[in-house]
Amino acid sequence: MTATATAAATAPAPPPVTRAGSDWAIDLTDVSKVYKGGVHALRGIEMRVHRGEVFGLLGPNGAGKSTLVKILMTVIRATQARGTVLGDPVGKKSTLARVGYLPEHHRFPDYLTGRQVLHFYGSLAGTPRRELRRKSDELLELVNMTEWASKKVKGYSKGMRQRVGIAQALMNDPDLVVLDEPTDGVDPVGRREIREILVHLKEKGTTVFLNSHLLSELEMVCDRVAILVQGKVASQGTLEELTLTRRGYHIAIDTDDDPAPIWADALPGMTDGAWRGINVVLNNDTAQLLTTDPAAVMPVIDRLRAKGVTIHSFRPQRPSLEDLFMEAIIDPTTGKELGPGAAKGGRR
């Protein structure tokens, strides 16, 4: 974990946990999983998800994302699980009546139609029988599958199955929806529709826990994210928090001359990559000033303009989720990508 990520990973102090009053939809303080043969998939996960937010879980293959999701959904038994889901201890079955789940590689019975799938899983989730029809029609409309509702699932494309999968996860009007790769196999139009569904859920106050490889999508919809590396949370927080120390302003000048003297004039007294306490990264005709205060950058602009230097561009800069992700999975000491977390006999 990098120093900046460590700083950003500091999560807010947990509120007192009560079933009704907890602000956390998910509050994990120590979740571990050791598979048979001593494979450590999770090594003391600490993670908190606010009620009503869209939370993104990301990490490289083998980081333990699916294991964590499956533990939350009681599909896998944790070796140790201290924490709560919707105010109840992790693993409590009755809590799942308030949770919707779409597994990554789900498989619906081929002999069911889309509507029957919703009725079946809705019934299992505890949706009252009288509600099934209304609710399924409503959700089929939401995922744009009304026309296909009476067709057998075996005739569905991957994207259509995914849409029905999302609908079944919502049949019980859940307080928390856990979606594992919901856009897998879905075309761009469908992805956009799914994003809209997520926004709709958020507006309703539903908490969405999203596990996805598509960082750009997570970035578009997530309020907060956690990056899982080698079975541990490398960093978590809002994008603002995670990028706080890496945000700044990017200045590009247009010159045929050597840019070094120009920057020396514009940033007088810069030593060891710092100017007036602001970290500066120079790269030929561009400069990155790592500060969130635009006023602090104005003197540089003034000096450049006073010297008659053409400013090609001046824009605020924020690292993307992909930048954060790549930074988290690179070992700072070796510069190489960290291996999967499911390492046999690995350290906790």
Partner 1 sequence: MSATIALFHDAYRELNSRKLFWITLILSVIIVAVFGLFGLNEQGVSFGLGKFSWTIDSEWFNSTIIPPKSFYLFAFANFAVPIWLSWVAMILALISTASIIPEFVSGGSIELLLSKPIGRVRLFLTKFSTALLFAGLQVAAFSIACFIIIALRGEAIEWRVFLAIPIVLLVFAYLYSFCALMGLLTRSTIASVLLTAVFWIALFGVNTTENVFQMLRIQREVKIERLEAAIDRQEKRAEEYLARERANGNDPVPAGQVPEVYRDEFEAVSPTLGPRRRDLEETRQSLATWQRWHRILFMAKSVLPKTAETTGLLDRYLISDKMRETLQKLGQNNRRGGDQSVPDEDDEIRIRGDDREVQIRLEEAVRGRTETWVIGTSLGFVGVMLGLSCLIFGRRDF
Backbone angles phi, psi at 280, to 5 degrees: -130, 135
Distance separating the N- and C-terminal Cα atoms of the chain: 15
Contact 160, 124 (CB under 8 A): no
Residue at token pair 């700072």? 332
Q: State the pairing for strand pair 207-211/274-275.
A: unpaired
101 near partner 1 (CB under 8 A): yes
Instruction: Select 181 or 327, whichever has its Cβ closest to partner 1.
Output: 181
The whole-angstrom distance between residue 305's C-alpha and the CA centroid of its chain comes to 41
Stretch that binds partner 1, among 100-108, 137-145, 236-244, 277-285 (CB under 8 A): 100-108
Among 16, 111, 334, 345, binds partner 1 (CB under 8 A): 111
Nearer to partner 1, 135 or 246 (CB): 135
Least separation in angstroms between CB 22 and partner 1: 19
Say if residue 78 is exposed, middle or buried (CB neighbours under 10 Å; 0-12, 13-18, 19+): buried
Would you give the DSSP letter of residue 110? T
Nearer to partner 1, 93 or 336 (CB): 93
Nearer to partner 1, 74 or 288 (CB): 74
Q: Is 94 in the site for partner 1 (CB under 8 A)?
A: yes
Q: Does 107 bind partner 1 (CB under 8 A)?
A: yes
Binder of partner 1 out of 12, 15, 109, 294 (CB under 8 A): 109
State in angstroms the smallest separation of the CB of 105 from partner 1: 5
Q: Given the structure tokens 């006999």, which residue do they identify?
A: 345
Going by C-beta distance under 8 Å and a sequence separation of 6 or more, which residues neighbour residue 123?
129, 132
Query: Residue 180 is encoded by which pair of tokens?
Result: 């594992």
Among 2, 29, 74, 317, binds partner 1 (CB under 8 A): 74
106 binds partner 1 (CB under 8 A): yes
97 touches partner 1 (CB under 8 A): yes
Sketch the per residue contact string, 18 through 57, with partner 1: x for CB under 8 A, - otherwise.
Answer: -----------------x----------------------
The interface with partner 1 within residues 128-157 (CB under 8 A) comprises: 128-129
Instruction: Pinpoint the alpha helices (H) of 205-315.
Output: 215-221, 239-243, 259-266, 298-306
Q: Angle formed by the axes of helices 114-124 and 129-142, to 10°? A: 130
Name which position in 73, 214, 270, 290 contacts partner 1 (CB under 8 A): 73
Neighbours of 337 (CB within 10 A): 11
Q: Should residue 238 be labelled a site residue for partner 1 when binding is judged by CB under 8 A?
A: no
- Residue 10 phi/psi, 5-degree rounding, is -65, 110
Contacts of 140 (CB under 8 A, 6+ apart): 114, 115, 118, 146, 149, 167
Q: In the complex with partner 1, which residue's Cβ is closer, 58 or 86?
A: 86
Task: Please work out the total of residues on this chain that contact partner 1, with binding judged by CB under 8 A.
Answer: 34
Of the candidates 48, 65, 70, 115, which one interacts with partner 1 according to CB under 8 A? 70
Q: How far apart are CA 342 and CA 234, in angstroms?
A: 15
Question: Segment 252-311, which members bind partner 1 (CB under 8 A)?
Answer: none
126, 268, 273, 316: residue in contact with partner 1 (rule CB under 8 A): 126
The site for partner 1 (CB under 8 A) is made up of 35, 70, 73-77, 93-97, 99, 101, 103, 105-112, 116, 119-121, 123-126, 128-129, 168
